Structure 1
Amino acid sequence: MNSDVAARLGRWQRHWQLAAAAAVGLWIWLYIGLGMKWPSADRGAWYLIGDPSVALGCLTALVWRRRYPLAVTLTVAVVSTASSFATGVGLLALASVSTRRRPMEIGAVTLAYLIASHFLVGSHPVESPPGSPTSFYRLVVPPLLAGIAVAAGVAVGARRVEVRTLRARAHRMEREQKARAAQAQAQERNRIAREMHDVLAHRISLIAMQAGVLNHRTNLPAHENRTLVHGIAAGSHQALEELRDVLGVLRAGPPHSELTQPSLHGIPDLVADARTSGLHVALTTTVSGTPPDTIGRTAYRIVQEGLTNATKHAPGAHIHITLERAAGNQLHVTVSNSPALTNNPARTHPPPSGYGLRGLAERVGLAGGKLDHHPTPDNGYILTAQLPWPASTHGTDT
C-alpha cells in the first residue's frame, strides 16, 4: 500500500513540474509577444508556430530525464534557448540535473546553456539597438536564471538525500525494534519455561516416587501407607497452588508480573519436605546472612533441581547438600548423591525432560555464576555452582 502511494505521489510530482515549466514558458511567451513589434511575416510565423513547437519538443524530451539524465538535460538546455516558450523547460532541465549534485554534470549543462543562450538569442523576434537596457538584460538574466535553477536543484537534491537517509534510518530502527521485541519474547518464554519447570518438576517427581512405592510395596504397614498417601495429596495440592500462582502472575501482566520467589532461607524447608517424602537428605551449611535476592533464589533453584534429578535418576540414594560462603565473595552450592539403590522398588519414575539443567545453566549464567555437573567415580552424581555474593551488599550479613 505504501509503495503504491509513493508511486502515485512520484508521478504527480513529475507532472506538476512539467506543468509548472510550461506555465512559466507560456507567461514569458505571451509577455514578449504582446510587447514586441512584428518586423516581418516570417518572424511572426516562427514566433507563433516554431517557438511553441520547440518548447513542446523540449517538454516531451524531459519525460525521459530520469532514465537518461545527462543526455536529455544537456539537449533540452541547449535547444530551449532558441524558444522563449521553452524558457521554463530549460530552467527545469538545469534544476533536474542539479538534483544529482554532481559538479561536473552541473557545470557542463550550465555552460552549454549560457553559450547557447548567447549565440541563439537572435532567433527571438525581439530586437534592440546595441547598448540598450535590453541588451544588458540579455547578458545578465540568463546567468542569473541559471544560477537560481542550479541552486534550487541542489537544494532539492540535498532534501531528497536527507529524506532517503531518514527513511532508511526509520526502516533500520523498525527492524531493530522488531528484533528486540522478538528477543524479549524469546527471553520471556524461556523465563516462563524455567519457572514452570521449577514449580512443577520437583513436586511431580516426589509424587511419582511416592506413587511408585505404593505400587510396588503391597506389604507396607498402615501408617506408612497413610504417610505416602498424605504426601501424594499434599504434594499435588502444593503443585496446584504453585501453578496457580504462576498462571495468576502471567495473566496479571505488568506491573504485577513478578512472582514471589523462594530464597536461601527456604532451603531447610525444602530439605525437610524431601525427607518427609522419603528421601535421604543431609544439609550442611556455613552460610550466615542473607544474600541478594537473585543469588538466594538461584541457590534455592539449584538445590531444588538437584533433589529433583536425584529423585528421578537415583531413587533411594543418599543426597548431601552443602552451602558455603567461600573466599572471594562467592557462594558455593553443592548437591551430590550416591548411586541409585538397584533393589529399590520405586525405580519407576517420570521420563527426563532435558530442560532442568539447561534452564538452570541459563539461570546461573544470568546471575553471573558458574555451573558444573558430572558423574562421580562411584557412579553417583554431583552438581556444583559458584555464585557471586558482593561484599558491598549492605544489611545482609548477620
Structure 2
Amino acid sequence: MPDSVTASVPVRRSPRDWTVDTAFFLLAVAYGVLTAKGRGQADLGLGVNWWYVEQLAGVFGCVLLWLRRRKPVEVAFVLIGLSVLFEMVAGAMLVALFSVAVHRSPRTTAVVYTASLLPVVSDVFIRPDAALPALHFFLFGTIVQAGAVGWGLFIHHRRKLLVQVAAEAALRAEQVQLRAREEVAREMHDVLGHRLSLLALHAGALEYRPDAPSADVARAAGVIRESAHQALQDLRQVLGVLRAPAGELPQPTLADVHRLVAESCAAGMRVRLLKEVPEAAPDLVGRTAYRVVQEALTNVRKHAPGASARVEVTGKAGEGLRVEVANAADGGRPTGQAAGDAAGQGLAGLAERVALAGGRLEYGPAADGGWEVTAALPWPREA
C-alpha cells in the first residue's frame, strides 16, 4: 500500500517547469481568444448564450493543461473532443499536441495528430469562414497543428540524442577505466612476478640446503630482504597510476635490461646477454622490450630451475627491434609444454602488450627441448 500511495504523488515542478507551464497556459488563452469566431450567434434554447458556454469551455481547456505532464495523451483527447464544438479550446489543444509529441513515442503522436484533424473538419463544415475558402482554411489548420507536433517531435528526438550521447560518454569512460585497470593488472603481474620469483629461488635454496654455511645463509636472507623491499617499492609505483597520470610514473627502458639480467645472475641463474642496439630506442619500444625480457626470465626461474638462458636484443631505427629469450633444457626439467601451460596467462598478456606497441610475439618449444620467446617490435626511422 505505501508504494501505491507514493506512486500517485505527482512529481514536484521545478521553477523552470512552472515558468514553461505558465507561458503555455497564457499562450493557449491568447490563441483561443484570437481564433474564436461567430460567438453569440447561437442559443442553446435554455436561456444560456453560446458565447458564455464557449468561454467556460475555453477556461476548462486551459486549466486542463496543468495535467498535461502527468497524462499528456488523455488531456490531448479530451481537448480534441472539446475543440470540435468550442473554438476557444484550440490553443489548449495545440499545447496538448506539443506535449504528446515531446513525451510519447512518434507512433502515439501520429495517432493523436490524426484525431486532432477532426476539429479542423468540423470548422470547415459546421463553422465555415466566409472570408477564407474551405480548402485554405483546412490547410491552414492542418499546417498549424503539424507545426506544433513537429516542434514537439524535434525536442523529443533531441532529448533522446542527448541521452544517447550521455550513455556513450559513460560507456567510453567505463572502457577507459577498464583499460586502466587492465594496465595496472599487467604491470603488477610483470613487476611482482619477477620479484617474487627471485624470492622463491633464494627461499628454495635455503630450504634445500639447511646445513649451508652461515655466511651463505646470511647472504641469501639479505637478498630475500632486499628483493621483498624492492617488490614493495615496485608495487607502490604501479599503484601510483591510480592517483597520477601514467606519464608521471617511472617506466623502465631498454637500458634497464642490463640491471634485469644482473639481478637474475645474482640469484644464481646463468644468463648470457647479447645487446647490439646502436642508439637509444623510443620509450614505448624500449619499455615493451624490457617487459618481454622480464616475463621470459621470470618463466625460466619458475618453470626451468637451473636452466641457462640467453637474451639477445638487436636492431636499429628503420629496421625494428628484435628481442629473443631462450633457455636450454639443462635444468631440473624441460620447459616446453609445462611452461606453456603454467605461464599461458602471462604470455597472453605479454602478447597483448606487444600488439599494443605494433609488434608481434611468438613463443614455443625450441629445437633443443628448451623454450623460446621472440618479439619483433617496430622502430620507425623518424622516431
TM-score by length of 2: 0.73
Match of 1:235 in 2: 227
Change (3 A) 1:155 1:271: same
Query: Is the aligned partner of 1:200 residue 2:192?
Result: yes
Partner of 1:373: 363
Aligned residue number for residue 296 of structure 2: 306
How far is the alpha carbon of 1:57 from its aligned partner?
A: 7.9
Aligned to 2:325: 335
Q: Deviations over 1:349-370 (max 9, x none)?
A: xx96764223212211110111
In the alignment, which residue of structure 2 is the partner of 1:250?
241
- Among 113, 118, 131, the residue aligned to 2:123: 113
Task: Give the conservation status (yes or no) of the 8 Å contact 1:70–1:97.
Answer: no
Alignment correspondent of 1:48: 48
Per-residue CA deviations over 1:182-205 (Å, capped at 9, x if unaligned) read 111111111111121222111110
Structure-2 change in CA distance of 1:117 and 1:95 (3 Å):
farther
Contact 1:95 1:152 in 2 (8 A): no
Match of 2:181 in 1: 189
CA distance in 2, matches of 1:108, 1:285: 88
Post-superposition offset of 1:272: 1.5
- For 2:96 and 2:141, how far apart are their aligned partners in 1? 9
Q: What CA deviation, in whole Å up to 9, does each residue of 1:141-197 have, x standing for no partner?
A: 796886665444233212211111111111111111111111111111111111212
Q: Find the residue that maps to 1:289 and give its secondary structure.
A: coil
Q: What is the one-letter code of the residue matched to 1:277?
A: A
Label 1:252 to 1:186 Cα distance change in 2 as closer, same or farther (>3 A): closer
Residue by residue over 1:334-393, the C-alpha shift from the partner in whole angstroms, topping out at 9 and shown as x without a partner, is 11112253399xxxxxx9676422321221111011111112243311111111011112
Find the aligned partners of 1:189 and 1:250 in 2 and give their Cα distance: 9
Whose relative contact order is higher, 1 or 2, with alpha carbons under 8 Å and at least 6 apart?
1
- Structure 2: which amino acid aligns with 1:320? R
* Deviation, structure 1 residue 332: 1.0
Bigger radius of gyration: 1
Superposed displacement of residue 213, structure 1: 0.8
Q: Which amino acid aligns with 1:279?
A: M
How far the C-alpha of 1:258 sits from its partner, in A, is 3.0
CA RMSD of aligned residues (A): 4.6
Contact 1:97 / 1:105 at 8 angstroms: preserved in 2?
A: no
Counterparts in 2 of 1:291 and 1:54: CA distance versus 1, 3 Å: same
Report the residue type matching 2:274 in the other structure: T
CA distance in 2 between counterparts of 1:333 and 1:65 reads 69
Letter in 2 for 1:116: I
Q: In the alignment, is residue 87 of structure 1 matched against residue 83 of structure 2? A: no
Q: For residues 237-265 of structure 1, what are the alpha-carbon distances to aligned partners after superposition, in whole Å with 9 as ceiling and x for unaligned?
A: 22222223334x236424x7632111111
- Cα deviation code 1:99-118 (max 9, x no counterpart): 76899878776344212213
Aligned with 1:179: secondary structure?
helix
Instruction: Determine if contact 2:186/2:349 at 8 Å carries over to the other structure.
Output: yes
Please show how residues 290-369 of structure 1 align to structure 2 within 5 Å: 290-325=280-315, 329-339=319-329, 341-342=331-332, 355-369=345-359
Report the counterpart of residue 168 of structure 2 in structure 1.
176
Return the match for 2:156 from 140, 157, 164.
164
Equivalent pair of 1:313/1:340 in contact (CA under 8 Å): no
For residues 95 and 211 of structure 1, the distance between their equivalents in structure 2, rounded to whole angstroms, comes to 81
Distance change (3 Å), C-alpha of 1:149 and 1:371: same
Of the candidates 204, 218, 233, which is equivalent to residue 210 of structure 2? Answer: 218
Structure 1, 219-228 or 102-111: larger mean CA deviation: 102-111
Query: C-alpha distance in 1, partners of 2:373/2:141?
Result: 78
* Superposed displacement of residue 54, structure 1: 7.7
Q: Specify which of 197, 201, 209 is matched with residue 201 of structure 2.
A: 209
Contact in 1 for aligned 2:326/2:370 (Cα 8 Å) = yes
* C-alpha distance in 1 between matches for 2:139 and 2:369: 90
Distance 1:174 1:53, change over 3 A: same
SS in 2 for 1:295: helix
- Count of residues paired in the alignment: 349
CA distance in 2, matches of 1:343, 1:87: 97
Distance 1:59 1:141 in 2: 27
Counterpart residue identity of residue 238, structure 1: Q
Give the conservation status (yes or no) of the 8 Å contact 1:202–1:305. Answer: yes
Taking the aligned partners of 1:158 and 1:357, their CA distance within structure 2 comes to 58
Once residues 89 and 120 of structure 2 are traced to their aligned partners in structure 1, the CA distance between those partners, rounded to angstroms, is 14
TM norm structure 1:
0.71
Name the SS of the counterpart of 1:383 in structure 2. strand
1:140 maps to a residue whose letter is A
* Distance in 1 of aligned mates of 2:145 and 2:203: 85
Q: Which amino acid aligns with 2:269?
A: L
Amino acid at match of 1:191: E
- Partners of 2:197 and 2:27 lie apart in 1 by 81
Q: Secondary structure at the match of 1:335?
A: strand
**Contact 2:357-2:377 within 8 A present in 1 as well:** yes
Distance in 2 separating the partners of 1:110 and 1:252? 66
Q: Which residue of 2 aligns with 1:39?
A: none
The answer on whether the counterparts of 2:121 and 2:138 sit within 8 Å (CA) in structure 1 is no
Q: Is the 8 A contact 1:324 1:333 kept in 2?
A: yes
Task: Give the direction of change, closer, same or farther, for the CA distance of 1:172–1:340 in structure 2 (3 Å limit).
Answer: farther
The 2-side partners of 1:141 and 1:46 are apart by 32
